[in-house]
Amino acid sequence: YHIKQNWRMGEKAFIQLLKFSDLIKDEDRGAYAVSCMVEMFVKEKRIDEVFPLLPRLSGDTPARFDLRLNVNLMQGAEILKEQDRQVEASLLFALTMTTEEIVNFYTAREKQLSYDIKVIQSFIDKKGKMLPISRVTSLKSKINELAMKATTARSHLGLAEKTPSFTTVLRWRKADNFQACKREWESFWAFYWLYKDFPDHEMLENFIYAAFASANTVKFREKSIELGEEYLANKDLIKFRPDVTFIMANSYRKEAVSQMKVVEELQSSLSTVGKERAALAKAQAEDYQARFFELCEDFLEVMPEHKYSREFIGMMGAEFFKRQEFDKLLNKFVGFENGTFNPSAGY
């Protein structure tokens, strides 16, 4: 029924298998039954019926590390998200294991089961002749039980190793769902570490921009500057360059204004500490101002025809006017310097 996706006929069989597995305490059969039922509920969009099964996935049991189950949990979470049930979706996302976690679990499980088999077999080889026949028979039955579990573990491991990793997809969806839930800080760190953990991924530009945008949302200035500068330093990234440049330039402009206010507040200070703070603030303001103009000029050089170009020119002109640096304004925009007009210069 599972292979043929015959859910109508299979539902009773899956329920009976789960009850039987619980009765004989068979983890592997129970895991398979849970996987079948979750897939059935997801495919038929009966998502609410998945939730009663979730307590079975709360520990490090085989049920939680079934590959097919985890793919279906991720799909179920997406269905809930589409229904604007992001909080419930976050629960399914949290329970979804990555491909690497599944591989690690079954690698360790197969290793442990093989070790347990060797220990029991070694005990039989050494002490078997001195043990009652019933005891030896019981130990051999235990070996057979462990061998079946080891075979199942190797089967799951082989399937997981052959399956393309969905780790980045899962982590992106988790981060995106955090954002939809207004869990802004969790969203930021999820995007941030996605970018840092996969620096060569084909979706790198989306990762870093999402982290940058999230940093601005939570007003994490340090990380915003870090991510913005890293984005702009990579000349291959152009999809979001206008937005990143505009946000960064405006941020540096505001920081320069903020530092100059500190200078003004301390300009009448007579103390050594006050003078040092004023000098430091002035130096920082000049650095921010220089970086502001550098970003604007870089953008105008790289993308002169972009619709944002006028915005950058406007911001630069406003700064020149505010600082009363008219000579620089004429040189930058008209190409007029020291009374001489240079038609090849200026914007």
Task: Give the model confidence (pLDDT) of 272-294 as tens digits.
Answer: 777 788 888 888 888 888 888 88
Q: How confident is the model at residue 263 (pLDDT cuts 50, 70, 90)?
A: confident
Of 205 and 310, the one with more pLDDT: 205
In this predicted structure, what is the pLDDT of residue 234? Answer: 92
Tell me the whole-structure pTM to 2 decimals. Answer: 0.78
DSSP state of 209: H
Average pLDDT over residues 326-338: 61
In this predicted structure, what is the pLDDT of residue 103? Answer: 94
Q: Point out the least confidently predicted range of 76-85, 156-165, 275-284.
A: 275-284
Q: How confident is the model at residue 331 (pLDDT cuts 50, 70, 90)?
A: low
In this predicted structure, what is the pLDDT of residue 250? Answer: 84
Taking a C-beta distance cutoff of 8 angstroms, is the pair 166, 74 a contact?
yes
Task: Give the model confidence (pLDDT) of 168-199 as tens digits.
Answer: 999 999 999 999 999 999 999 999 999 999 99
Task: Give the model confidence (pLDDT) of 206-239 as tens digits.
Answer: 999 999 999 999 999 889 999 999 999 998 998 9
Tell me which amino acid residue 319 is.
E
The DSSP annotation for 283-337 comes to HHHHHHHHHHHHHHHHHHHH-TTSTTHHHHHHHHHHHHHHTT-HHHHHHHHH-EE
CB count, 10 Å around CB of 143?
17
Give Dmax over CA atoms of the chain in angstroms.
112
Which of 307, 171, 282, 303 is CA-nearest to residue 232? 303
Which of 174, 206, 202, 203 is CA-nearest to residue 189? 174
Q: How confident is the model at residue 138 (pLDDT cuts 50, 70, 90)?
A: very high
Mean pLDDT over all residues of the chain?
87
C-alpha distances (whole Å) from 311 to each of 296, 297, 299, 317 are 9, 12, 11, 10
Rounded to 5 degrees, φ, ψ at 124 are: -65, -45
Taking a C-beta distance cutoff of 8 angstroms, is the pair 181, 165 a contact?
no
In this predicted structure, what is the pLDDT of residue 60? Answer: 76
Q: Which residues contact 165 (CB under 8 A, 6 or more apart)?
A: 98, 99, 100
pLDDT of residue 347 exceeding 60, the answer is no
pLDDT of residue 117 exceeding 80, the answer is yes
Q: How confident is the model at residue 333 (pLDDT cuts 50, 70, 90)?
A: low
